[in-house]
Structure 1
Amino acid sequence: MADFQNYMVVFLVSLIFPIIFRAFRRRSHRLPPGPIPFPIIGHLHHLGPKLHKSLQKLSHRYGPLVQLFLGSNPCLVVASPELAKEFLQTHDVTFSNHPERVFGQIISYGYADLAFAPYGPRWRFMRKVCMTSVLSTHSLLQIEPIRREERNLFLQALLEKAKAGEAVHVKDEILKLTNNVASRMTMNQRCTEHESEAARVKNCMTEITQIAAKLNVADYLWFLKNLDVQGHRKRTAAAHHKFDMMMERVLKEHEEERRRKEAGEGGGELKDLVHTLLDIMEDENAEMRLTRDNVKAILLNVFGGATESPANAMVWAVAELINSPNLLEKARHEIESIIGKDRLVEESDIPNLPYIQAIVRETLRLHPGFTVISRRSTQDCIVAGYHIPANTELLVNVWAMARDPNYWENPLEFSPSRFLNEDGSIKKELDVKGRQFLLLPFGSGRRICPGASHTLQLVPSTIAAVIQCFDWKVGDGGNGSINMEEGHGSSRAHPLVCVPVARFNPFLTHAG
């Protein structure tokens, strides 16, 4: 009986806490505007399956800074570049952590990774390891032959489909490209059609991405935390177990390879990321030792950032260009005038192709890799005259800011020319690397996506090659338009399926 009474007291406190807390704080501090919270759930009923669109509706009604309660947890929604700069640059250290979630805790080996780990010395060390070993300018230049080879294999696969007149699930083909590049960078093997380790990792990463896009209400409502009513914890744990078993096999293969080399039974230098991370894990004189969980969690981050995000960007770019044939022809004219008609465009050509660069930026504006940036404050601060307490969740609506007519002319129109100067050169003041708060497809500040440079190496040259080599037939008559409905996060709601039509085969040209 006493336990029941205690439970009821806690239940009633949670029922009225958001209202009492908000009323008290309104008297003691100036608060941003926002809707009145419901008991227990706060404002969770305002959040639909497409979070960025739900938040945009609230911002239209209450302004660019909105106060919400997710359960009893305070939250701020930001929808203007000026305020985004305040939070992500001026107060970057205060908002350098991510909110704690069931998904992040499980999938990251207890916050042993880069994406979910709290900001601090260990996080800085792991980021330095990644940036110097695989994502530095020097490292990205070294793996350019891998990107080129995988891109050419991707183009050859499309040319075979074109020859047979077969329809292509475009994202599936692009994911083979991005996964092959990531697999070769990290563990020196390709994803193949059969069930190799790399192919299993690819399928597991797709599953993890789908789970991550779903809202788990148990993260916000204390009385649901141990119930797993949506099955979110169970699905996350299952995906994590799958990934962990695969990474253990990869690590053991690499450790055996290292043992053979030390015994004089193997040859060649060990260069992939797994070997680099194992070196640091085993180095007693390293600045900071990595644990085995750190190694596996970092590999998870690399696969997540180097596969799904660039693949989504490329699929959206192809879809936008199919729906805008005049822009497709303009891009082709630029390629042919600079490159000619006898060779395939290469990564080194991209700086001389401003319209291709503009297509990539416009794609990332309309379809950013992160639709919403999520952070959590570690201490009290004052922003825009409002008192923001510690442990306040921050949601910066990148998607909404990139479609705001107050900052962009005809914001829903796909118009790469908005990124060009009158002389046709690319606008340097409108980049996508987190310095211009109008446009934050990779985030900003200390927690900016470390894979941004990799994406910006792979995507432009691949898109340029696709433009150069193919036309596309859509629908039964071949002249249909593409449905541009969005799915969860940055993905498409409907798969892009169309028939490639070869217009240039660079491999035949070289053979001749």
Structure 2
Amino acid sequence: MQVLRWDGGGPMLATRDSSTLTVLIGTFAVLWLLWAIKKQRKAAVHPLPPGPRGLPIVGYLPFVGTELHTKFHQLCGIYGPIYKVWLGNKLSIVISSPSLVKEVVRDQDAIFSNRDTNIVGRTITYGGADIALSLNCPNWKMLRKIFVREMLSPTNLDITLALRREEVRKTIRNVYDKKGTHIDLGDLAFITVMNAIMNMLWGGTLRGEEGAKFGAEFKHIFAELVMILGKPNVSDLFPALARFDLQGIRRKAKRISETIDRVLDYAIDKQIKSLAKAKEEGTTKTEQKDFLQVLLELSEQDDGAPSMIMTQIKALVFLS
């Protein structure tokens, strides 16, 4: 079909067929370009392991059930020792053989060490400032060196031996005072371990009734924290909903974090004043040295090594 168009100087001839052909060629070029890009991306990305099919948006989440380990064991029998599971918008890779675990946690640990932390973990660790949730970087290596060589060195463990021994003696006296009555050994062991840990953290800083008060408050906080850490959070599975905090878990974690912060601020302020007083008097605290004192002394060293900031000290003390 021919169409005549007047353009001042004379008639011009245009064809609808040529316009259609131009559109088709352009569309084909765009489709070919998109196909080439997609093929290139597929070639660059390694294929994922097999796994169960899920539903749109929620993935395999409705079929997991309450016993996660049992379901994962069942899926292992179907898909093998490594498989993928979509939980909401999060892709999880499950491994269940000793050889693969060894490959991940030891042989290739530098690759797999970084992890996607949940909201509660980031909130209580000051954005992942502790050794457990920090990314594999020079900062993490510094924290690991401090944790292993300083806090848990034989010398410092020997220094805190008196603190641990005192807690064990208190437990023995407590059992002796309750002779002839029923005793929950599990609860008793838990309290003894918690008291020993609290004593090692700041036993030389907060003594007597003051230390017992803060220890009891910390144990209550820790129990509540364990509950929300293990609670499934919709915000973790669907990051787009995180801003709404539908279950209120982030608010609870924030409240716990603020309580922990107040306790640690008090203990750190008291220890700093004690160290400053000892420095003015020309003496050094050598007895009843706790982890908090060790960290504060390390942060004040001027040996050219990277020093810790206060949030890292708090995170290490609380999650040691």
Same topology, TM > 0.5: yes
| Deviation, structure 1 residue 55 | 2.2
Q: What aligned pairs does 1:98-497 form with structure 2 within 5 A after superposition?
A: 98-161=115-178, 163-165=179-181, 167-188=182-203, 189=206, 196-264=213-281, 268-269=285-286, 271-302=289-320
The answer on whether the counterparts of 2:88 and 2:238 sit within 8 Å (CA) in structure 1 is yes
Please identify, of 46-55 and 203-212, the stretch whose mean Cα deviation from structure 2 is larger.
46-55
Does the C-alpha gap of structure 1 residues 178 and 267 become closer, same or farther in structure 2, counting only changes over 3 Å?
same
Counterpart Cα distance in 2 of 1:58 and 1:117: 31
1:178 Cα deviation after fit: 1.3
Find out whether 1:34 has 2:51 as its counterpart.
yes
Aligned position for 2:113: 96
Q: Is the 8 A contact 1:113 1:297 kept in 2?
A: yes
Q: Would the aligned equivalents of 1:88 and 1:95 in 2 still touch at CA under 8 Å?
A: yes
Do the aligned partners of 1:133 and 1:139 also contact (CA within 8 Å) in 2? yes
CA contact (8 A) 2:164 2:200 kept: no
- Amino acid aligned to 1:34: G
2:202 & 2:98 partners in 1: Cα distance? 39
**Cα-to-partner distance string for 1:313-372 (whole Å, 9 max, x where unaligned):** xxxxxxxxxxxxxxxxxxxxxxxxxxxxxxxxxxxxxxxxxxxxxxxxxxxxxxxxxxxx
> C-alpha root-mean-square deviation of aligned residues, in Å?
2.8
Give the 3 Å change call, closer, same or farther, for CA 218–25 of structure 1 in structure 2.
Answer: farther
AA partner of residue 229 (structure 1) = L
Unaligned runs of 5+ in 1: 1-20, 303-512
Q: Displacement, 1:77?
A: 0.5
Structure 1 CA distance, aligned partners of 2:158 and 2:212?
A: 30
The offset of 1:268, in angstroms, is 4.1
Mapped contact 1:25–1:31 kept (Cα < 8 A): no
Could you tell me which residue of structure 2 aligns to residue 377 of structure 1? none
Matched residue SS, 2:135: coil
How far has the Cα of 1:296 moved from its partner?
Answer: 0.2
Q: Does the residue aligned with 2:243 lie in a helix, a strand or coil?
A: coil
- Does the 8 Å CA contact 2:151/2:294 hold for their aligned counterparts? no
| CA offsets 1:391-414 (integer angstroms, 9 cap, x no match) | xxxxxxxxxxxxxxxxxxxxxxxx
Task: Choose from 68, 91, 101 the match for 1:74.
Answer: 91
In structure 2, the CA distance between the partners of 1:110 and 1:289, relative to structure 1 (3 Å rule), is: same
Structure with more contact order per residue of length (Cα contacts < 8 Å, sep ≥ 6): 1
> What do residues 191-246 of structure 1 show as CA deviations (whole Å, max 9, x unaligned)?
86996222212221222222211121211213311111111101111111111110
Matches of 2:111 and 2:222 in 1, distance apart? 31
Structure 1 residue aligned with 2:71: 54
User: What SS does the aligned partner of 2:244 have?
Assistant: coil
Distance 1:248 1:193, change over 3 A: closer
Distance 2:50 2:279 in 1: 65
Q: Give distance in 1, aligned partners of 2:64 and 2:183.
A: 35
Q: Mark the CA change 1:264 to 1:139 in structure 2 (over 3 Å): closer, same or farther.
A: closer
**SS of the counterpart of 1:164?**
coil
The two structures have a TM-score, normalised by structure 1, of 0.50
How many angstroms does 1:29 deviate by?
Answer: 4.7
The 2-side partners of 1:191 and 1:54 are apart by: 48
Corresponding residue SS for 1:58: helix
1:37-72 Cα deviation digits (max 9, x unpaired)? 211122222444443333223223322212112223
Give the drift of 1:300: 1.2
Count of residues in correspondence between the two structures: 278
- Inter-partner Cα distance in structure 1 for 2:108 and 2:285: 48
CA change 1:154–1:43 in 2 (3 A) is same
CA–CA distance in structure 2, aligned partners of residues 104 and 249 of structure 1: 23
> Where is the helix percentage greater, Structure 1 or Structure 2?
2
**CA–CA separation in structure 1 for the residues paired with 2:190 and 2:58:** 38
Q: SS state of the match for residue 33, structure 1? A: coil
Q: Distance in 1 between matches of 2:293 and 2:46?
A: 53
TM-score (norm 2): 0.77
In structure 2, how many angstroms separate the alpha carbons of the residues matched to 1:300 and 1:240? 10
Larger Cα-atom Rg:
2
CA positional deviation for 1:138: 3.8
Q: Distance in 2 between matches of 1:235 and 1:184?
A: 27
